[in-house]
Amino acid sequence: MKDKKSAVSTSIWDHNRGVVRSNIGGWVIGKGVVNRGYEMMEDFVGKLSYMQVVIFNATGRMPERRLADFFEAVHICLSWPDPRIWCNNIGALGGTSRASALASTLAGTLATDARSYGIRPLLEGLAFIQDALRQYKEGMSVEDIVRKEAARHGGKPSMMGYARPIAKGDERVPALERVREEKGFPVGEHLALAFAINDHIAQVYSESINVNGYVSAFWSDQGYTPEEAYRIMAVGVSSGVTACYLDTRGKPAGTFLPMRCEDIDYQGVPPRELP
């Protein structure tokens, strides 16, 4: 439709008004559930792992089972039941507040859409190693790649995926290395570069690769973009959050890390008269 006075075209909205147009598929009542050309009940249920379907839904490409198993292993690595970890802490606070399990799990999971830790840093992690490999192939040395990144962060080796909060080293890396070897995935060029960077920063800065750096390199070798990896891992921490919810849900309400008034350090203006 075109408005005669203003010659404004609203055709794209008129075309989509009241009609679902999908590039994927959907439920055809009485016939089945189409998903990018597959019939889900026939082709997926009982034949694929859940993680294969998660990856398919997040990327449009069907991964082989062993690759989905690797992604699943990463989910396990992010499912720690430690309520000190920020997202898990939210789950525990949900339990002690008697919020629902689903609300608490999602609240904690949403908090990992964050810059300091969690899932969003995967965007930067994959972008870094993919860019680093491009530079390496153009002739830049590992030392120069690290030096260039460090210069951007005040001399610190703050590449996403190397070093982590709280601890030095990452126990998830050797665990996932074992899975990679068992599943028969060779070391690709991104992962080889990631380990070379790891060795260099270990010597120069006493830092090392973390789970983000490791999986970012491995998934880059498997052809995933930063955005695809981020989508696949969207709820990666959720199970750990649920575990922490469960722990405090089973105890008297309001008893998880309770605080006295004096436990807050007030640094604002002292009490004053209302004008």
173/208 Cα distance (integer angstroms): 10
Q: Which residues contact 171 (CB under 8 A, 6 or more apart)?
A: none
Residue 9: strand pairing partners? 2
Q: Tally the C-alpha atoms within 13 A of residue 54's C-alpha that lie toward its C-beta.
A: 19
- Which residues contribute to the site for another protein (CB under 8 A)? 3, 6, 8-10, 12-13, 18-29, 34, 36-39, 42-43, 99-100, 103, 106-107, 110, 165-171, 173-174, 177, 187, 189, 191-193, 195-196, 199, 208, 258-272, 274-275
Shortest distance, position 194 Cβ to another protein, whole Å: 10
Task: Specify the residue, 14 or 50, whose C-beta has the smaller distance to another protein.
Answer: 14
Measuring CA to CA, which residue among 207, 216, 212, 161 is closest to residue 188? Answer: 216
Shortest distance, position 265 Cβ to another protein, whole Å: 4
Shortest distance, position 54 Cβ to another protein, whole Å: 18
Q: Which two tokens stand for residue 245?
A: 């919810």
Phi and psi at 124, nearest 5°, equal -75, -35
- Tell me the residue length of the chain: 275
Task: Specify the residue, 43 or 72, whose C-beta has the smaller distance to another protein.
Answer: 43
Task: Specify the residue, 75 or 190, whose C-beta has the smaller distance to another protein.
Answer: 190
- DSSP 3-state assignment of 39? strand
- DSSP 3-state assignment of 35? strand
Element (H, E) at 33: strand 32-35
Residue 27 is classified by DSSP as: E
Task: Specify the residue, 250 or 261, whose C-beta has the smaller distance to another protein.
Answer: 261
Shortest distance, position 122 Cβ to another protein, whole Å: 19
Shortest distance, position 24 Cβ to another protein, whole Å: 6
95/251 Cα distance (integer angstroms): 9
CB 233, CB 76: distance < 8 Å: no
Shortest distance, position 191 Cβ to another protein, whole Å: 8
Task: Specify the residue, 214 or 224, whose C-beta has the smaller distance to another protein.
Answer: 214
- DSSP 3-state assignment of 28? strand
268/265 Cα distance (integer angstroms): 9
Shortest distance, position 29 Cβ to another protein, whole Å: 7
